[in-house]
């Protein structure tokens, strides 16, 4: 398509979110119920080609199947339509980061975090498999880490692949690096193929390793796993056993269902508890209360220039990242300043940025009000809590915001000077006023 259409049926098109060899995804708006949506569209030339009718039927059939998979860990499909010789699928619009993006970054996932993400994927698969729907393309690019700390699986039953994915066996569906042995052989796949792919993603989250195209047909999966575990001795033997069963080349040796895979992970003695699992993402998985500071383009350009003096070309990335999860000018400035290691240069930047953002210099850098989303104390050591006190706060917060609580406590404890300040800030992550009050009663004297 040469230009962005104005609409598909009743759905208004706002902008392009992404595109590949098979189609485009737009951000759209449903004017009837006033909801932002994502619209996935097949390229016209595919529909006009030799297999156009087959693609169209498959697109519709799989959209219908995916629409039955209503689950918190699945990107929902709302509608299917055909307009101006194009098929389109209307999906839930979500904000977050693909797991593939995170894995390409320098940040690492802990074992608990990787297991939490895997459990979320397996719960999504449990829901889909109940309808005999096989995803066929579980991979990091289809696992989304949301800004609110949740995890969703995308393209459920509607995954149409880029040309780079349609390699090796001519009729196979999926991405070779994560595909089960039976899928690579071009055989009909079952739900167990999804479990194999999930196991491969788990292995990559823990180690960064995945089979190369050259190894797919030349290296037995058992040998590959052995070599990886030899290099990563931090992975416990019980967890290694779970991964080996998920990646068993024979179906009879592999987990029979997503539920069985879940039970295998939840039974691991090395995990403290399901509630202690936590998600970590570079740009996403932030506090429940979001959005967000909006600054004029010129102000952002000025800040970029000021920060580039200290960080060079990384300034653009740092500003983009911070702007996705800050709600005040002061918070934004302080988050940017944390990337400057030299204390003197950091103070210089804060002085410049305060003027650019029109921040009152008489206000102290450390904020302690209950309305502050982040409190940053320049050059102040992290608050030290006793083990018992930390466990009490963690348990209380998990009850209200889920497993992301542990990550948030680790994040905020570095920025405050007192126990009460920490608890006040953590309370701001709880949206419901009565729940917020109850949390404070539990943790504040």
Alpha-helical regions (H) of 11-130: 44-48, 52-67, 99-104, 111-129
Active site residue 137: yes
**DSSP-assigned letter for residue 402:** G
Catalytic hit among 30, 87, 137, 419: 137
CA distance 179 to 166: 12
Q: What tokens does 245 get?
A: 């069963």
| DSSP for 290-342, written as a single string | -------HHHHHHHHHHHHHHHTTHHHHHHHHHHTS--SHHHHHHHHHTT--S
Cα distance between residue 186 and residue 166, in whole Å: 12
Distance between CA atoms of 412 and 414, rounded to whole angstroms?
5
Strand-pair partners of 421: none
Residue pair 383/419 in contact by the 8 Å Cβ criterion: yes
Helix (H, G, I), strand (E, B) or coil at 256: coil
Residues contacting residue 90 through CB under 8 Å, at least 6 positions apart: 8, 11, 28, 30, 37, 38, 39, 40, 77, 78, 79, 80, 81
3-state DSSP helix/strand/coil % of the chain, to nearest 5:
45, 10, 40
Active site residues: 137
């Amino acid at each position: 398509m040469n230009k962005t259409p104005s609409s598909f049926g009743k759905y208004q098109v706002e902008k392009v979110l992404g595109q590949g060899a098979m189609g485009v995804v737009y951000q759209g708006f449903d004017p009837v119920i006033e909801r932002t949506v994502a619209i996935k569209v097949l390229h016209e030339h595919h529909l006009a080609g030799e297999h156009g009718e087959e693609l169209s039927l498959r697109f519709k059939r799989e959209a219908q199947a995916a629409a039955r998979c209503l689950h918190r860990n699945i990107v929902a499909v709302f509608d299917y339509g055909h307009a101006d010789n194009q098929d389109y699928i209307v999906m839930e619009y979500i904000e977050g980061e693909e797991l593939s993006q995170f894995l390409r970054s320098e940040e690492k996932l802990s074992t608990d975090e990787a297991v939490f993400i895997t459990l979320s994927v397996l719960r999504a698969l449990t829901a889909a498999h109940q309808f005999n729907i096989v995803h066929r393309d579980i991979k990091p690019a289809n696992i989304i880490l949301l800004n609110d700390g949740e995890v969703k699986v995308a393209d459920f039953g509607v995954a149409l692949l880029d040309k780079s994915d349609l390699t090796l066996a001519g009729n196979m569906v999926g991405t070779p690096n994560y595909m089960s042995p039976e899928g690579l052989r071009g055989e009909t796949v079952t739900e167990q193929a999804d479990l194999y792919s999930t196991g491969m993603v788990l292995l990559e989250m823990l180690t960064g390793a995945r089979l190369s195209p050259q190894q797919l047909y030349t290296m037995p999966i058992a040998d590959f796993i052995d070599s990886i575990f030899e290099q990563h001795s931090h992975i416990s033997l019980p967890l290694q056993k779970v991964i080996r069963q998920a990646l068993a080349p024979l179906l009879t040796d592999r987990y029979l269902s997503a539920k069985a895979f879940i039970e295998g992970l939840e039974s691991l003695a090395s995990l403290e508890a399901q509630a202690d699992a936590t998600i970590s993402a570079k740009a996403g998985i932030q506090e429940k209360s979001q959005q967000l500071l909006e600054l004029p383009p010129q102000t952002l350009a000025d800040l970029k220039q000021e920060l580039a003096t200290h960080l060079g070309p990384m300034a653009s990335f740092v500003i983009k990242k911070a702007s996705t999860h800050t709600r005040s000018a002061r918070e934004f400035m302080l988050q940017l300043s944390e990337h400057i290691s030299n204390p003197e240069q950091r103070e210089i930047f804060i002085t410049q940025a305060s003027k650019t953002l029109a921040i009152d210099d008489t206000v102290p850098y450390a904020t302690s009000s209950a309305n502050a989303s982040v409190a940053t104390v320049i050059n102040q050591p992290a608050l030290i809590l006793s083990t018992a006190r930390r466990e009490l706060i963690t348990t209380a917060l998990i009850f209200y915001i889920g497993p992301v609580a542990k990550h948030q406590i680790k994040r905020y404890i570095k920025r405050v000077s007192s126990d009460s300040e920490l608890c006040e800030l953590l309370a701001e992550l709880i949206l419901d006023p009565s729940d917020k009050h109850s949390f404070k009663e539990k943790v504040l004297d």
